[in-house]
Amino acid sequence: MSAPATPAPSRSPDDHGAVPDDDRDGDARPARGGRAVTALLVLLVVLAAGAVGAGAADGGGAGVVLPVAVAAAALVGLLAATRLLLVVALLLAVRTSLDVVGGGGPGLARALDPAGLASVLLVVATAAAVVVRRSQGEPLPRSALRTAFLLFTGAAALSLLGAAAPAAGLVELLRLASVVAMLVVLQVLVTSRRRLVVVLAAVGAAAVAPLGVGLAQVAGLVPLGAPVAGAAGVLGRLTGPFDHPTTYARVLLVLVLVGLALLPALPRRGRVPLGLALLVGTGLLLATLTRGAVLAGLVGVVVLAVVQRRPAVLLGTLGAGAAGWLLLPGVADRFGQVASGTAADPTGNSLAWRLDYWSQVLPLVADRPLTGVGLDGVRALTDAGKLPHNDYLRALVETGVLGLLAHAAVMAALVGTGLAALRATAPGRDLRALGARRPGGPRTSLEHATAAAATAVGAAVVVASAAANLVTGVVVLWYVVALAACAGALARGLVTPVPAALPPTTATAAGPAVTETAATGTAGPGPRADHPAAPAP
């Protein structure tokens, strides 16, 4: 009698009937579509290499820079076909330090600076990911935020027809497209807890440059405005690794809110260094003297205190703010300027100046109310040559009524995505609700903390946009949409909360798994508390 055939090993589906992420993420081997993309990108590398040689023989300049950019984009696309998560995580981790290398100048030259090239590379990587996913028959997940962003990007592209500054507007459109690309690629990638952790770790790594350069400027080791080429200190305000204190403040705003939200999800040994980093980040944020970012940060902290039921975080933040008000030079004077009636503020940031400038900008929409004057058109059409310092006004004037409606939808979807993730991760799967809290262990699940971070950051962006230029602020929006993509995965149930404090489930050969509940200490058959029951065969 012949031995029974051994069945071939099969990949078991996850809780949602899908193949586990680690088996289908494309990191193991590229599929048919991935091989096609790889072949195309190899061809691009060869052509770019030839163009570099020709450009160098002709004297360098753009003849070398552009082919190098094409080659870099092709190489990133080639890597993205097999290791896309690594590419995106690296881009997130280093984006806050790219401005240190120096800018490429105004207009189209901005697309050739390191930050601009990073945007191009991300768009290429996202295109490769979407091609591979579609070739495997996997549609993109539904997303109100992605739809709103695509509508706003479409309105921005439409505004370039007859725009006041088409070249500069095209660069701004590319920057906006990179934000959409970051959202799309992470919606494709974040399908497991491991991947969620990788993205959060990349966001944490992005804090190294802002904190390090800021501390160096406080200590006098690095001049204000340095090391960014062409930047200068603005009335003694910290600029960090960026060319202006407002950009620095908004990056710190996002990073501090994320850190505050994740703090209770870490064990005690992780909370101590993160707490110290948060103290440093909060102090640097106040030292930028950027009132809009500070006020938006307070809104975000209030949201965290409510959704995480942590009134202590609000009291602690208010205490830190009061200490900064008393100890940091210029903080009290800076906020006191709000009551000043002087419209000619040297930094162009007083409330009176903004109100006066907004009254000059608003009439520009009369000529093209539907499509606007085009991205970056306000700077081209005003004597001051500045952006409006109000994203809602900018959306109306530069992209018309269509753009304003789409922008409002983006703001609503940012907050809505976070709230949906909160509903999907709390309170039933929170560690405290499960009674599984351990001394020194996490106080909440990482998933619930991520949802809280996305909600708080979304609310802060809604507030900050009323007095800021964030529409095409890639360095800030990349991290905003990264959190939103993680929250979207949580809301769709793709990432199931697995509290670390729960005891492991033991499987028996004779029957279903036996689960020991942390709340009662009893054992009995049944599914794990964080997973639904498996369907009957």
Kindly report, residue by residue over 342-357, the tens digit of the pLDDT. Answer: 544 444 456 777 888 8
The alpha carbons of the chain give a radius of gyration, in whole angstroms, of: 25
Residue 418 has pLDDT above 90, yes or no: yes
Residue with tokens 């809009």: 292
End-to-end CA distance of the chain: 30
Per-residue pLDDT at 419: 96
Per-residue pLDDT at 461: 97
- Per-residue pLDDT, averaged over 183-189, amounts to 90
Banded pLDDT at 433 (limits 50, 70, 90): very low
Asked if residue 7 has a cis previous peptide bond (ω within 30° of 0), the answer is no
Banded pLDDT at 211 (limits 50, 70, 90): very high
Residue with tokens 């210029």: 330
Per-residue pLDDT at 397: 95
Residue 227 has pLDDT above 80, yes or no: no
pLDDT tens digits along 82-129: 677 888 888 899 888 887 665 544 555 555 566 666 666 777 667 766
Q: Which of 208, 219, 231, 338 is nearest to 287 (CA)?
A: 219
Residues 6+ apart with CB under 8 A from 40: none
**What average pLDDT does the structure give for the chain?**
74
Residue 450 has pLDDT above 90, yes or no: yes
User: In this prediction, what percent of the chain has a pLDDT beyond 70?
Assistant: 59
Banded pLDDT at 465 (limits 50, 70, 90): very high
- Per-residue pLDDT, averaged over 306-330, amounts to 74
Stronger pLDDT, 519 or 429, i.e. the higher one = 429
Per-residue pLDDT at 374: 92
For the chain, the residue count is 537
Other CB atoms within a 10 A radius of the CB of residue 421 amount to 28
Tally of CA atoms within 13 A in the half-sphere of 224 that contains its CB = 13
Please tell me the least confidently modeled range out of 164-178, 216-230, 249-263.
216-230
Please tell me the least confidently modeled range out of 95-99, 123-127, 315-319, 446-450.
123-127
Written as one letter, the residue type at 350 is S
Q: How far is CA 345 from CA 249, 287, 328, in A?
A: 19, 19, 21
Name the most confidently modeled range: 209-223, 309-323, 455-469: 455-469
Name the most confidently modeled range: 6-10, 13-17, 353-357: 353-357
- Per-residue pLDDT, averaged over 291-313, amounts to 89
Residue 256 has pLDDT above 50, yes or no: yes
| Domain spans, the chain | 24-139, 145-491
pTM: 0.76
Name the most confidently modeled range: 39-43, 472-476, 533-537: 472-476
Stronger pLDDT, 167 or 13, i.e. the higher one = 167
Q: At what angle do helices 62-94 and 474-491 cross, to 10 degrees?
A: 50
Residue 439 has pLDDT above 80, yes or no: no
Per-residue pLDDT at 24: 40
Per-residue pLDDT at 81: 57
